[in-house]
Structure 1
Amino acid sequence: MKVVGWHASHELYPPSELLRLARRAEGAGFTAGMCSDHFHPWTPQQGESGFAFSWLGAALQATRLSFGNVCCPFMRYHPAVVAQAAATLAEMFPGRYWLAVGTGQALNESITGWAWPTKAERRARLREAVDVIRALWAGETVTHTELVTVTDAKLYTRPAAPPLLFGAALTAETAEWVGSWADGLLTVGHEPDGRRAVVEAFRRGGGAGKPMVVQAAVGYAPDEDEAWRDAHARWPVAGLGQDLLQDAPTPDQIAGPAGKVRAEDLRGKLRVSADLARHAEWLRGDFAAGFGAVYLHFVGRGPERFIDAFADHVLPAC
């Protein structure tokens, strides 16, 4: 089954507005949802950053959509707290919640005062955190004293079946590693060659037969120039390198470089077009590449216009 989902961008909208938009997306024909999980927005100009786990409970209650989020489960969050939060959502809404985990960004995680670890250490911490989360979901009493510390933790409220645990990967190298331990892959929209490399690496690493989902950042307006102008104004971070996005500790430190990004720098990194047939073509390419679900992250202005236009012209063409 091909799923076209709607992404709730906590960086761009207050949570009350996102809840209203989630209902509108469901009514328009989107069949699933996901949301970002930040403490800070990428830049001060984006202006918002609601708490994902609180919002997810409301969104799951207010709609019949499935939902998931991506978090780093070992700094700002402790893995036992992530396990409990996810288990509670999955118990209340069976089969409708999934969790994705990744190595995070200093932007969100360094607020706890920890020194920001190297990528290798973050990977090691993530792998330990995944084992802790799975053990808690299985009903075990967990004590773990390596990079991640847990003492005598046990979850007394658990769902009948644990949620799917996806691994987030932006590169082929990470996708191959994720394939060895995750229930599925979550990645972002790529050009065809990059998308193929990530898929092949995930399958090579042990992910063959596992579900794959992709989040695609899109811009749309009836006028092409307007579509690019709005996407550039609201999501210039797509033009920045991953080293900066992972290691910068505050929105202010990202804002300066983001202000130098030009609209032309975003071509090939955002899916921006006034042509709704082109948007449908991008989605068909994702499904042909093996993804079972595509979550559309609208980064322009006029979210209602986006939802309604895609419901009328893009969803039926996929």
Structure 2
Amino acid sequence: MARIGYHASHEQYDPRTLCDLARRAEAAGFGAIKCSDHIQPWSPRQGHSGHAWTWLGAAMATTTVPFGNIAAPGYRYHPAVMAQAAATLAQMFPGRFWVALGTGEALNEAMTGMVWPDKPERNARLRECFDVMHALLRGETVTHRGRVTAIEARLWSLPDAPPPLFGAAATEDTARWLGGWAEGLLTLGGDPANVARVIAAFREGGGEGKPVHVQHTISWAETEDRAMADALDQWAPVAIGGEINWDIRRPSDFDLLGRFVGPEHIGRSVRVSADPGLHRADLQAIADLGVDTIFVHNVGRDQQAFIDMAARELLGRGD
């Protein structure tokens, strides 16, 4: 059975609240935690965007479960600086930290003033960043001149074992490309048939035997109406699809997109239901694909009610 983890959404909660939620999630029985890494929220209504790497040190110091982060090197973060942060966490908390590397979104990365490239160029930059980070985390001195530059870079405080560098993929093509070099896969949940195709592509591309994590987004509340309202209020723009989410820069523009998403569309990106049994069945179906950890992200604002429900209905803690 896959481990069930809790997704800590920096866009939706201030860092102090999110640290408390991480402790509550562990106490409820969640076996792992991962966080998002944003400098802006998706919507002004969400209203938060704490520094993920700072938060990770505090959250991991007050819990005992493994943690992960998804971030985009090469824009806001130089890959050597990201490798230093990852090495520090892995040295302080041995065996408890991994990071997934993605190509990023303009929402978070374009603020540096760099030209925001198309997907093939972002892929090429990601691969260079991975190579730099991979070498640094193994104690090498790195000089690299390309889309990113590192001159005689070296990490002096290294963990006993380097943290795994996963690749993040939402599509079969990206997953297949990652399979040959990333040390694991982080992908999105949803329809188990779609998840299965992405995982199969990763394994076909060279990822056979490598760990797979899934971030599964849901909207659960006490009633169906509340669950639907929460999904549309907090996560509607993600259901638009295509490449548009990666190219928009302003939270206010995501709100404009969200106006075009109704109850008939939101299911593309969020599993909406007040029925814990349905969510439990979804988790089992994804677990049956041979994944290692499923991180559940409930987009609703009442996280304590969700954590309490999960302890009873999803994590086997009973009453």
Q: TM-score, normalised by structure 1?
A: 0.97
Instruction: Show structure 2 runs of 5+ residues with no match.
Output: none
CA distance in 1, matches of 2:234, 2:128: 36
CA distance in 2, matches of 1:269, 1:11: 17
Give 3-state SS (helix, strand or coil) of 1:235's partner.
helix
- 1:280, 1:315 within 8 Å by CA — same for their partners in 2? no
What is the CA-CA distance between 1:37 and the residue it aligns to?
0.2
What is the CA-CA distance between 1:276 and the residue it aligns to?
0.7
**What per-residue deviation string (whole Å, max 9, x for no partner) do you get for residues 261-293 of structure 1?**
112211242112111111110000111011110
Partner of 2:81: 81
**What per-residue deviation string (whole Å, max 9, x for no partner) do you get for residues 56-76 of structure 1?**
001100111211100111011
CA distance in 2, matches of 1:178, 1:222: 39
CA distance in 1, matches of 2:29, 2:309: 11
Give 3-state SS (helix, strand or coil) of 1:263's partner.
coil
CA distance in 2, matches of 1:138, 1:164: 11
Partner of 1:280: 280
- 1:189, 1:215 within 8 Å by CA — same for their partners in 2? yes
What is the CA-CA distance between 1:112 and the residue it aligns to?
0.6
Letter in 2 for 1:137: L
Partner of 1:236: 236
Give 3-state SS (helix, strand or coil) of 1:6's partner.
strand
Instruction: Show structure 1 runs of 5+ residues with no match.
Output: none
Identify if the C-alpha distance between structure 1 residues 164 and 241 changes in structure 2 by more than 3 Å, giving closer, same or farther: same
Partner of 1:10: 10
Letter in 2 for 1:281: A
Letter in 2 for 1:61: A
- 2:11, 2:40 within 8 Å by CA — same for their partners in 1? yes
- 1:219, 1:273 within 8 Å by CA — same for their partners in 2? yes
What is the CA-CA distance between 1:241 and the residue it aligns to?
2.2
1:190 matched to 2:186? The reply is no
What is the CA-CA distance between 1:152 and the residue it aligns to?
1.1
What is the CA-CA distance between 1:97 and the residue it aligns to?
0.5
CA distance in 1, matches of 2:124, 2:237: 27
Give 3-state SS (helix, strand or coil) of 2:38's partner.
coil
**What per-residue deviation string (whole Å, max 9, x for no partner) do you get for residues 175-213 of structure 1?**
000101111100011312211210110010000111101
Give 3-state SS (helix, strand or coil) of 1:143's partner.
strand
- 1:7, 1:296 within 8 Å by CA — same for their partners in 2? yes
- 2:190, 2:217 within 8 Å by CA — same for their partners in 1? no
- 2:239, 2:268 within 8 Å by CA — same for their partners in 1? no
Letter in 2 for 1:188: L
1:152 matched to 2:122? The reply is no
Letter in 2 for 1:11: E
- 1:10, 1:18 within 8 Å by CA — same for their partners in 2? yes
Partner of 2:203: 203
Query: Root-mean-square deviation (CA), in Å?
Result: 1.1
Question: How many residues are aligned here?
Answer: 317
Partner of 2:171: 171
Partner of 1:49: 49
Give 3-state SS (helix, strand or coil) of 1:18's partner.
helix
- 1:244, 1:254 within 8 Å by CA — same for their partners in 2? no
Partner of 1:134: 134
CA distance in 2, matches of 1:166, 1:242: 23
CA distance in 2, matches of 1:218, 1:256: 22
- 2:7, 2:297 within 8 Å by CA — same for their partners in 1? yes
**What per-residue deviation string (whole Å, max 9, x for no partner) do you get for residues 203-256 of structure 1?**
100001111010011111121111111121111122122411101122122221
Give 3-state SS (helix, strand or coil) of 1:55's partner.
helix
Percentage of identical aligned residues? 50
- 2:6, 2:297 within 8 Å by CA — same for their partners in 1? yes
